[in-house]
Amino acid sequence: MSRHYDVDAVRKEFPAVERMVYLDAGFQTPLARPVKAAIEQFLREGFETAGPKSVWLDRVEQTRAKVARFLGVTADEIAFTKNTSESMNIAANALPLRDGDNVLMIHGDHPNNAYAFLNLQRRGVEVRFIPMTEVVNAESFRPLIDERTRAISMSHVTFHAGHRFDIASVGALCAETKLYFVVDVMQAIGVVPIDARAVGASFVGSGSHKGLLVPQGLGLLYWDKSLNELEPAYLAAASLADIPGDLIARPDRMAPSPTAGRFELGNFNLPAVHALGAALDMIEQIGVENIQSHCFDLGDHLIARLDELGVSLVGPRDRKHRAPHIYVIGLPASDWLGHFEDNGVRVSPERDGIRVSLGMFNTADDIDRLIDVISKRGQGRPSVAA
């Protein structure tokens, strides 16, 4: 049982978690019944009526408004993309960076965040990396800032060890030093509460197939609309402030939309947008703060059980610095991943071990089953404590 919501009722919405011990939400969450129903409604409407496009586009805007509320911003600051990587590339290329400017990042952060900015080296932009430590905050970046520093880009939560960085202090530093601030929230959103405006982000990028419960293929981008100098690197009719009614392109009418629609290129992933609307309703009903608290409790239980076995945890232990839902066990993936699979436990291999990533549907029994699988194989084996 959870102290925060009826987790047994939630589990019934995820049939896959009754068939296996699913501890891999940081890779992709199983499909929930309400999400599946939303996709089926879209398919049924397309099948039976050839597609009520105006109705579908109205739902896109309804979902956009839900995303905005979820991030503490306004609907005209939300764009839909394909995934986190596209969102981060849109952000990187929208910043007014010139030859000789530099951007600060964290060494070992998600590669697709880094590549979005490393690709700007061909324009003479320098990327400077700070070391990844258990605590990253404003003071981690401050020593590297000089007169040509223009931006900081970082993840809120790391995918490989569950660091939860102090984006609020980094956002305050960016405001103080007049830097753009780009945040990848893919591993946080849906589990960790996010207020994009409060942290002072210029852009926030994410996909939706982890904490937001949607199949792959849909991303989100928040843009601070007060930064109207940030313009798209590519353009379509849908990106314009004034879309020509006759759909004839005119070189003298190319002003971008005053909304985040300036970063969109037209047709949407409509099934996924329908799914996201249903997923956000589900998350809102439970409460993201409750999901976070539940995962923290499970994480405490996992850490205590690992300590009993003498098995190490990679990454931070303190709630202040760890993500509630991502934990890496210090067991070599090459030796252990197949063992977990053989025993019906779904986890992921990571850089330094086995990643356990929790969802709203997990219970202490899932943790105990994981520990049992480790314990049975590890009895008498020195590699368990490696």
pLDDT for the residue numbered 78 = 98
Average of per-residue pLDDT values in the chain: 96
At 383 the pLDDT is 47
Q: What is the pLDDT of residues 368-383, one digit of tens each?
A: 999 999 999 865 454 4
7-30+287-377: CATH class: alpha beta
Helices within the chain (DSSP H only) = 7-11, 33-49, 53-71, 84-94, 111-118, 138-141, 167-177, 270-286, 288-309, 333-342, 364-378
Separation CA 158–CA 151 (nearest Å):
19
pLDDT tens for 195-251 read 999 999 999 999 999 999 999 999 999 999 999 999 999 999 999 999 999 999 999
Q: For position 384, what pLDDT does the model report?
A: 54
Alpha carbons 81 and 294: distance in angstroms, whole number: 30
In terms of pLDDT, which residue wins out, 352 or 207?
207
CB-CB contact of 263 with 223 (8 Å):
yes
For the segment 279-322, what is each residue's pLDDT rounded down to a tens digit?
999 999 999 999 999 999 999 999 999 999 999 999 999 999 99
6-33: average pLDDT: 97
3-state helix vs strand vs coil in the chain, percent to 5: 45, 15, 40
What's the half-sphere exposure (Cβ side, CA atoms, 13 Å) at 273?
21
CATH 1.20.120.160 fits 35-284, yes or no: no
What is the arithmetic mean of pLDDT over 149-170?
97
Interatomic CA distance for residues 242 and 201, integer angstroms: 27
Closest CA to 90 of 101, 79, 99: 79
CA distance 141 to 255: 35
List pLDDT tens digits, range 266-285: 899 999 999 999 999 999 99
Which residue, among 56, 258, 95, has the nearest Cα to 182 in the 3D structure? Answer: 95
Which residue ranges make up each domain of the chain? 7-30+287-377, 35-284
pLDDT of residue 386: 43
Note the pLDDT tens digit of each residue in 220-229. Answer: 999 999 999 9
pLDDT of 37-64, one tens digit each?
A: 999 999 999 999 998 999 999 999 999 9
| Dist. CA 247–CA 342, nearest whole Å | 57
